[in-house]
Structure 1
Amino acid sequence: MDFTLHHQAVDSEARAGTLVTGHGKIETPIFMPVGTAGSVKGIHKKDLKEDIQAQIILGNTYHLYLRPGTDIIQQAGGLHKFNGWDGPILTDSGGYQVFSLGDIRKLSEEGAKFQSHIDGSKHLFTPESVIDIQRKIGADIIMAFDECTPGDAEYDYAKKSLELTQRWLDRCYNQMEKTQPLYGHKQSLFPIVQGSVYHDLREIAAKHVTTFPSDGYAIGGLSVGEPEADMYAMIEVVNPILPKDKPRYLMGVGTPVNILEAIDRGIDMFDCVMPTRNGRNGMLFTSEGIINIKNRKWADDFSPVDPNGTSYVDQQYSKAFLRHLIISNEMLGAQIASQHNLAFYLWLVKEARKQILADTFKSWKEVMVKKIAQRL
């Protein structure tokens, strides 16, 4: 994998680059639609490519391991062959899902024991097994196994958690060295910076991951309940330490405003379930602000979902029709809303890239964050 940094804004840390993988190139900054079970929920591959213009999607190690199982994926020839997506894929390590299981998981030096949310069966994730699972899935970018520390963690817990994540990272890299890709393309391992909301822990973590040669670096454990100001502060601590010539991936973030603020602070890659999850519940993100399409005010509004939008959805469907579908619990409503939101997110990062290259990002961002944060 190769990353080329083309330009950094003159009045911001915002960057524009190109990431080249075995399955194609990615122009950064980029948002990556989340395909938890190997597909982006409710979205056809054709729409992902042509309308949403996704350049890379995510798969979830925990969910794919449990269902359909990595043996099935390996028999298919990897996730690219299994789901038919021929572009780049990134898989997370399952660390966040294990964190979210709460009382039905137990951490130790060995790894994380947990019960399946599907049938209650017991499993063990270790740094070694997680690398092996991601080898079988075959994603272009894979994540090191880590503990995702809660946003409200006390300092002592956050410190011990970080130290465990660092020891696990050693084992992840050792396992990468011992194994080979299975499907003829390179896989790049990204280590993850943890440390909760503590400046010194984040600094220690950032310095530690840079001792490992990597094609990119991730920042995890944010947007998990901490105030937004703390999230931005942690980015400002970490990014100056991470190599400038490698992509930086902020995991699980977030709102459109979060994304623009993080781009301003030097982040290149994002993912979040918010566009699809919130869309299914009737929340639409637009270039003019946020719409709750269930509100009565949209019942006779026959204007496009986003008058400034460029997606197929914005050209074909009115607010009134989409409201009718959503409140009627029609499956098409959830699909249209999800497709619209994803297209908006991809438009937003594409426009941010244009502004960075034109050295107008900062002034554009200041206008945009006010518009897209308002409720319509």
Structure 2
Amino acid sequence: MDDPMTPRHIASFDPRTVPDPALAQELQRVQRGIGAATDGASLRQASRDIQALVHRVVEQMPAAELLTRIISTLNDALTQRVIAISSVDTQLDMVRWCWISLGSEGRQEQTLSSDQDNGIVFSGSGPADGLREMLLPLACRINETLDACGFPLCRGQIMASNPQWCLSLDEWRDRFTQWIIEGDPQALLNASIFFDLRPLYGAHSLAHELADWLAVEASENSRFLFQMTANALRREAPLGMLRKFVVEKGGQFAGTIDLKLNGATLFVDAARIYGLACGTRANNTADRLRLAAKSHRLHPSDVDQWINAFYFIQMLRLKNQHRNYTSFTEMHNHVDPNQLEAADRHALLDALRQARTLQNRLALDYPGSSQGI
């Protein structure tokens, strides 16, 4: 029997297993509030409750892996509730559809500042264009409600309300095939976002079927993996000589390092390639690296170091965003290494060196994809 068209809670953890009993109770309280929301006002209140909770948790919990999964799970629950409420009285009996999350949401690696990256995969009787026209008004309503709940609309329009990303299962296969075959810069950029797809609401089997197909197609196309590697290695760890950082030279954030683009992304991109090469549909960065070790593509001790380095950078991002929030400034991912405490500054140097080591390993596994790092 196919998946029912009802919300399914994709929890990465049981709140009762959180070490701090008070925090576990607070998580359960917020989840109950999300489940009880019935309209726009109560959805927005649930969003505020999530935001207040996660900012308190940042101050208490040093474990970025659990923290980012908590954030993603609460955001999942709110998004599922938004979709359920937005779908009331919507007649879509002719079409099966699944809301998919992409990017950091798909990887369950959301931080305190995330915009929307989502799409729809559908199937039904009749031409795809006609079914798409039925779904787009609902998708637009959902995207707008999520925006009102604090998830900004994607500036790049990677949202389900964009007809480009509301596609039938066959159209998604054709789109991915085109990206894999062409391998041009835009195709590689799309691959870095859409290969992290994860079903969130609806007929999950549609997304699973797409992900299973994609895992086979990508793993069997060495040329595409080579191109993905070459693209990933264009961005280098911001390290200079003699344990020095390479900081931005000008602009609004002169003297800083972008911990997202020049830190976390180095791990995310490499892990995605290893995950695709393993033929797995895993989408979380740490999970992909662990599976690569399990399949003997990487050494477990190296993987442990890379995962620890990745989550140290993620924790710095979360702390930085929290400081922005408490000082009423726009949240961002830029830090001035000279403003860090000595221990964090040294740890950041070590984490970026681990990113460079991971990239070097990637270059060795795909020789010729880089002229050196």
Using the size of structure 1 for normalisation, the TM-score is 0.31
Greater fraction of residues in helix: 2
Greater fraction of residues in strand: 1
Using the size of structure 2 for normalisation, the TM-score is 0.31
